[in-house]
Each structure stands twice: as structure tokens, then as C-alpha cells.
Amino acid sequence: MKKTFLIAALLAATLATPVNAAEAPRLVQRDGHHALLVDGKPFLMLGAQAHNSSNYPKALGKVWAAAADAHANTVLMPVAWQQVEPHEGQFDFSFLDVLIKEARQQDKRLVLLWFATWKNTGGSYTPDWVKLNGKRFPSMLDRDGKPNFCFSPFGEETLKADKRVFVALMAHLKKIDGDKRTVLMVQVENEAGTYGLVRDFAPAAQAAFEQPVPAEVVARQKPKAAASGNWREVYGDYADEYFHAWAIARYIGNIAKAGRAVYDLPMYVNGALRDALEQPPKPWQGNFASGGPVWDVIDIYKAAAPSIDIIAPDIYTADSEAIKANMRLYQRPDNALWVPEIGNAEGYARWIYAALGRGALGVAPFGIDYFNYANFPLGSKRADKTMVEPFARVFGAFRPIQRQWAQWAFEGRTRGAAEGDDRKPQSLDLPGGWVAKLTYRQWQFWDLAWDSKDERPAGTEQPGGGVAIAQIGDDEFLIVGQRTRVRIEGGAGASGFMLRAEEGSFDDKGRWQMERVWNGDQVDSGLNLMAEPIMLKVKMARAR
Ligand code: DGJ
């Protein structure tokens, strides 16, 4: 064969989609609601993120065991630059081969986490040949010209090298998974940004800082001072952190774009949070990772990195108001809510109801494997089965209906809540004009206010209630939840009464299987969901 033909044939072999390939995972948005389509239908990611160092073939057993116990359907797994390109230009994707093969055997989907230039802002996952060559792969410089521990987003060679290996990774992925689509999404870098320094002050960065702010940024991120000009002129006291966000987003977007050109999978970035309750947000004072995808620079990321679909929050604050605020701020018509990390302490499990009820694409507790590495104080003090159990209970409830739930969420029919730190009643406006009134720490009988002894059910010492409700028909709702008393009542758009409440489950064909009808004492004090999650189908009747 002539050389040109050979090259053309090889190229066609890598670019062609295999025959009988499953449809590629993709994100869709309609009327502000989002879905991740997998095999052509909405998919709910009940995720489990492995610990950082579990990305080796021999480690996987302890990951699959915990993911299975958690009833997760998706595992989030790091793939590190240092492991796939230990010597420059020599790629080793053997871990990926094993990972994908075993994930299929385990009936799990995957989300790959690309740990490269930035991992929790630092460069620890770059290969030695990168770490040891500061001249070619420069660090950020502070105002005095002193190197910082982060790589500079203006390091052209760093970008080139990171991009080259990422493209090789995506090409390999296409080759081994372009038919079955075990991998659903790719996270590009991990918690990018910089602690302790607001931006790069090296000459190349300084020169860019003095340039006019790119029009696409001004168009999305509202100017604070002048309508146009350089970063300081347009954004005043916020100029440094916005500039750094732009520089990092541009770098990441560049890598994502090149990767998607060879294998087009949804891509996202994850961010360490800034305080979502500080409103309006003050300029950076060393209180968060500058340049990272914090909520108030989502627009800068959207402008500078259009190949990144989602800016996602890593939730490690235990404060219920802060968690709610973050979910609200990261969920936008142009940004699907996806929680790739949430602490693995028991108290976080109830937030799965809130997130999935809000229509999130999925949630993944962090540190789900049996490496006996406890994530306290960010997460659980335990690293065994008891750490997994609270999440297993919730995922176990959603697992049989995950496809259906994702479809309802995409149609905007779902709502959700988690018990607040104040333990106070809450209410959810439901489609059709009904309202769900939620109270916590109740017994199954009567109201707490009538209970002179003020005793509470065991196990409710800490907030643990959560409920997700889907409208499944006219005036008909599916309730999934735990440790919550629910009353559905008339609201602004409806008045009436509860006609029927059935406890049951869905079979594997998605058909409702009634176990019993709740009536009498089981409904007179509201619908009391206790420690074990259950499913209720509730039919309301409009007033006669
Ligand atoms: C957030 C990071 O994204 C994770 O990789 C991990 O380091 C956790 N923090 C802490 O366990």
C-alpha cells in the first residue's frame, strides 16, 4: 500500500465511529431543564467518586466493592498525567484499558477525572519531567517575582504538553469505548485555581492583564466600572481574580476543545467553593482559590471555555443554607446542576434528595472505596461499609427508577428538599398548584406540638430528612424520601384533598407495583417517612 493510502486508512480507522456503536452521551437542555442522554435517553448519575490514589489496576477491587454497596451506577475515577505519560511522548493507557473492562463487568458507567496541570490547584499529578523543568513549564510569579506552587496558565509549553496527552487519551478512549460508551463524561483538570495568590504577575501575564478585556467576556460578565478597557478599567477591584479565571478557563477550554475534536464527550470542570452566602461577593481576600470556577465567575468560564459544558460545585460545606445557595447558584439554564463531589459523612446523604429533586444530572459522594482512608473533617470519620450505608439507602431508592426520574427531571416535574440545620418546617411548590408541607423529627402519630414529653425519634439527633417529589400524572405525585413528614395540600393553584396514597415500588419495566394502600392512622398525621427510604404514590383530588 502506498504511504499516503496507509495514512488515510489509519486516519479513517481512528476517526470512524464503530458499526453498531451506542449513541454518544450528550447533554440536552429544554426550557431551562437539563438531561444527560445515555444511549439516547436521560440518565441519572448515582455516582461514587474514588479516592485520589485509587487509580491503579490493583486498587480497583476496593472501588468496585464500595460502589456496589453504595448502589451507584457511575464511578468517578482519576486518570493522572503522571501515570499515562511517565516519559515524554510515551503514552501508557493500560490503566484505562483495565478500568473500562472492569467497569463493564461491574455494570458501571464511568466519569474520568483528568488530573494534570491543576489538581486542587497544585501540579502534583504532572509527570516528573514536567515538575523538574521549571524553565519550560513555568510557575506563576507573585508581585515580587517569586514563584508560586501553581503552574502558570500562560505557560505555552505546559498547555501544549497537557493538550497533547489529553488528545491522546481521548483518541485512545474513542478506540476502546467508542462503541459501548462506558465513559459518560470527562472532567478536565481538578479544582483549578490558586490559593494565596490572586493571579500570575509574570511578564506574559502582566502584558495580557493590560490588554482590553476580550469582547466575549465583557458580553457575559457584567462590567463593574467602565464598559470597555483593560481588566482593571472594566472590573476595578475584581480585575485580578476575574483575569485569573479567564486565563485558567481559556487554558482548560483549549484542552477540552482539542480533546472533543477527536472524541466528543460532554466535559466539565469542578470547583472548590467560595462562600455562597457572601452576597454580594467581595473581591478576593485570600478566602478561596482565585481563578477557580467559583459561582461568580461562571460567566467568565462560559465565555472563555465554550467547550466546557458544566461548571460544577464540590460540596464540602456542611452548612445547609450554604449548600442550598450553591445548588441555586450553579443551576442555571446555561449550566446543568451536577455535583461531582459531596462529602461522604452521613449528613450529606440527605442532600441527594434536594439535588435530584432540583433536577441535577447526578450526585457523587467523594471517597467511596474501601481503602480505609477517612475523609474527616471534610467527610466521614469512617472508611468502611458504615460510611457507604447512608448513601446506599438513598441511591437504592432511586436506582430502580433512575431513568424515569431523569426523564421527569428533564420535563421539570421534580422537586426536592433536605432538612435544614434549623430543623424547621419547609414547603415545596409542586407542579399543578399543590404544595408539599415538610416537617422533621416527627413521630408517625400525631403532632409533636401535642407531645408533652418532647421526645424525638431515635436517630434524629442530627438532621437527616430528605424528600424528592415528582409529578407523575394529573394531580398525582411520587414521593421518595426519609425522615420527613409530608403533607400535600392545596396551594395557590389548587385546592382539594388527598384521595389515595399507595406504598410500593417500580419493577424493572418501570411498572408500579403496589404493596399496600395507606389510610387511617397511616395518613391522618401526614405521610411519615422514617429512617428507611420508601416510595409513595399519592393521588390528589380537586375540591368538589
Ligand atoms: C476536593 C478534590 O477535588 C478531591 O480530589 C479531594 O482532594 C477532596 N477535595 C478532599 O478529599
3-7, 409-413, 440-444: which has the highest mean pLDDT?
A: 409-413
Question: How much distance in Å is there from the Cα of 40 to the middle of ligand 1?
Answer: 32
Pocket test for ligand 1, best of 111, 113, 191 (most atoms within 8 A of CB): 191
Domains of the chain: 40-412 (3.20.20.80)
- Cα–Cα–Cα angle for 29, 104, 167, nearest 5°? 60
Question: How much distance in Å is there from the Cα of 298 to the middle of ligand 1?
Answer: 20
For 96-162, give the DSSP string: HHHHHHHHHHTT-EEEEEEEEEEETTB-TTS-HHHHT-TTTSPEEE-TTSPEEEEEPTT-HHHHHHH
pLDDT greater than 50 at residue 119: yes
pLDDT greater than 70 at residue 13: no
Question: How much distance in Å is there from the Cα of 323 to the middle of ligand 1?
Answer: 17
259-317 confidence digits (pLDDT tens): 999 999 999 999 999 999 999 999 999 999 999 999 999 999 999 999 999 999 999 99
Q: Which residues make Cβ contacts (< 8 Å) with residue 325, sequence separation at least 6? A: 276, 277
Confidence class of residue 436 from pLDDT cuts 50, 70 and 90?
Answer: very high
Task: Report whether residue 374 contacts ligand 1, using a CB cutoff of 6 Å.
Answer: no
pLDDT greater than 60 at residue 2: no
Question: How much distance in Å is there from the Cα of 271 to the middle of ligand 1?
Answer: 10
What mean pLDDT comes out for the span 122-148?
98
Question: How much distance in Å is there from the Cα of 341 to the middle of ligand 1?
Answer: 8
Task: Report whether residue 118 contacts ligand 1, using a CB cutoff of 6 Å.
Answer: no
pLDDT greater than 80 at residue 360: yes
The alpha carbon of 66 is separated from its chain's Cα centroid by a whole number of angstroms, namely 19
pLDDT greater than 50 at residue 485: yes
- What cell numbers appear for 338 in the block? 451536577
Task: Report whether residue 106 contacts ligand 1, using a CB cutoff of 6 Å.
Answer: no
Residue 113 CA: which ligand 1 atom is closest?
A: 5
pLDDT greater than 80 at residue 143: yes
Task: Report whether residue 189 contacts ligand 1, using a CB cutoff of 6 Å.
Answer: no
The alpha carbon of 460 is separated from its chain's Cα centroid by a whole number of angstroms, namely 28
Task: Take atom 11 of ligand 1 and give the residue whose Cα is closest.
Answer: 375
Residue 191 CA: which ligand 1 atom is closest?
A: 3
pLDDT greater than 80 at residue 440: yes
